[in-house]
Amino acid sequence: MYTAKAYSVASATSQFAPDTIPRRATTERDVQIEILYCGICHSDLHTARNEWSSVMPTTYPCVPGHEIVGRVIRVGTDVTAYRPGDLVGVGCLVDSDHTCPNCQADVEQFCRNATFTYNSPDRHGTAPVTYGGYSESIVVDERFVLRVPTNLNPAGVAPLLCAGITTYSPMRRWGELKGKKVGVVGLGGLGHMGVKFARAFGAHVVVFTTSPNKRGDAVRLGAHEVIVSTNRDEMKQHTGSFNFILDTIAAEHDINAYINMLTLDGNLTLVGAPETPLKVSAFALLFGRRSLSGSLIGGIAETQEMLDFCGKHDITADVEVIPIQKVNEAYERLVKSDVKYRFSIDMSSLRTK
C-alpha cells in the first residue's frame, strides 16, 4: 500500500480539500497509472453531494472522477497489454466478476458485481470504498485499462471515458446511421459528444435545444440543423421524420414531443436521468411502432472501440482545463451548466502544490 495525493469531500455539504488516500500496491494483474487529466462528470457532483442517497449512498471521504487519462508507471508481473510509458484511460468501471452472463457478453457495466471507479466497495480492502481520479495516481486491473490514441489531446480524451462512451454506445447499437436522420436533445457534456459521433457516423444531425443562442455552437460541433424546441412551428415541421433520437436531458421534460418526432420503427434512447418519472404517451409509441430505450455507458471492449474510433476520426470532447484547486468553483458552474462542454482537471496541479 502507498498513499497518493487527492482531493476529497468529507461530507455532503463539504467543499473539496487536499487529502491523502491509500492505494494498493500493484498486484500481478495491476497497472499503476500516473493521472494526467480527469474530467468532471455530473455523476461526480451527485455522488460528492450524496444526491443519489436512495440508490447509491455516498461513503465519505469521497474522491470522485471516472474520466481518467494517464501514463503507466508500473505494471504487475502478469500484465501483458501495457508497459510503463503507455498512455491509458480508465472509465467508470475498475472490476467485475468476469463470470456472469453480462461479463461474458462484454457488457461488464451490467455485472451485478461490478466495481465502479469510486464509491464502490473496495474488494481489495485498501479502503472502505474505491477512490476515483481526482488524485495523482490510481491502481487498476489491466482488464479495465484502456489504450488511448496518442494523436489526440489527452485533456479532451478524458471525458470520452464516460460522456463519450455513453453517447457512442447507443448509437452503435441502434445500427447503421449513415444517411439517417438523427436527433440529439440537449447540448451539454453528453449532447455535444452525441453530435460529434452522429456526424462521424454519417448521419444527418439535428440538435434540439431550448436556447436559440446555442445554434452557432451546434453547427460548429457538426449539426446540420438546429431546432429550438420551444418553437412549435419548427417542431411541427419535423414530426415523424427522425430514425433515431438521443435524449441527453437530465431534467424533467416532455418526452412525447420527441417520440412524436420519430418515423416508423424509430427509436428514442435516454441517456440522461431525470429525478422524477417521465410521462410516456402510449399513443406516441403505438402510432409508428416506435420504441423507447435506455443506455448506460458501455463495456470495456466497446469503450476501446470508441477510443480507437476517436483516434481515427480525430474526435475529443471540448474541454475547459482547470487546476484541481478550482474544483469547487467548477462544481458551482456545473450546476448552472456554465461550461463548454466539460471540465478537465490538469492533475499536474496536484503534484506541484
Stretch that binds Zn ion, among 90-98, 250-258, 283-291, 311-319 (CB under 5 A): 90-98
The binder of Zn ion chosen from 50, 58, 96, 137 (CB under 5 A): 96
The mark string for 216-255 relative to Zn ion (x by CB under 5 A, - otherwise) is ----------------------------------------
The binder of Zn ion chosen from 9, 111, 319, 330 (CB under 5 A): 111
The binder of Zn ion chosen from 4, 6, 21, 41 (CB under 5 A): 41
Which of 235, 241, 240, 193 lies closest to 218 in space, CA to CA?
193
Q: Are 342 and 159 in contact (CB under 8 A)?
A: yes
Give least dist CB 97 to Zn ion, A.
4
Site for Zn ion contains 344 (CB under 5 A): no
| Binding residues for Zn ion, total number by CB under 5 A | 8
Residue nearer to Zn ion on the CB measure, 111 or 139: 111
Site for Zn ion contains 169 (CB under 5 A): no
Give least dist CB 66 to Zn ion, A.
5
The binder of Zn ion chosen from 8, 43, 229, 303 (CB under 5 A): 43
Give least dist CB 167 to Zn ion, A.
11
**The three grid cell numbers given for residue 268, joined into one nine-digit string:** 428514442
Site for Zn ion contains 97 (CB under 5 A): yes
Give least dist CB 159 to Zn ion, A.
9
Residue nearer to Zn ion on the CB measure, 41 or 171: 41
Give least dist CB 92 to Zn ion, A.
6
**The three grid cell numbers given for residue 297, joined into one nine-digit string:** 455507458
Q: Name 174's Cβ contacts closer than 8 Å, sequence gap at least 6.
A: 244, 267, 269
Residue nearer to Zn ion on the CB measure, 246 or 261: 246
Residue nearer to Zn ion on the CB measure, 99 or 231: 99
Give least dist CB 111 to Zn ion, A.
3
Q: In angstroms, rounded to a whole number, what is the distance separating the alpha carbons of residues 82 and 34?
A: 14
Residue nearer to Zn ion on the CB measure, 61 or 64: 64
Site for Zn ion contains 100 (CB under 5 A): yes
Stretch that binds Zn ion, among 160-168, 192-200, 247-255, 305-313 (CB under 5 A): 160-168
Q: In angstroms, rounded to a whole number, what is the distance separating the alpha carbons of residues 74 and 208?
A: 46
Give least dist CB 204 to Zn ion, A.
28
Cis peptide before 341 (omega within 30 of 0): yes
**What number of residues does the chain have?**
353
Residue nearer to Zn ion on the CB measure, 104 or 150: 104
Binding site for Zn ion (CB under 5 A): 41, 43, 96-97, 100, 103, 111, 162
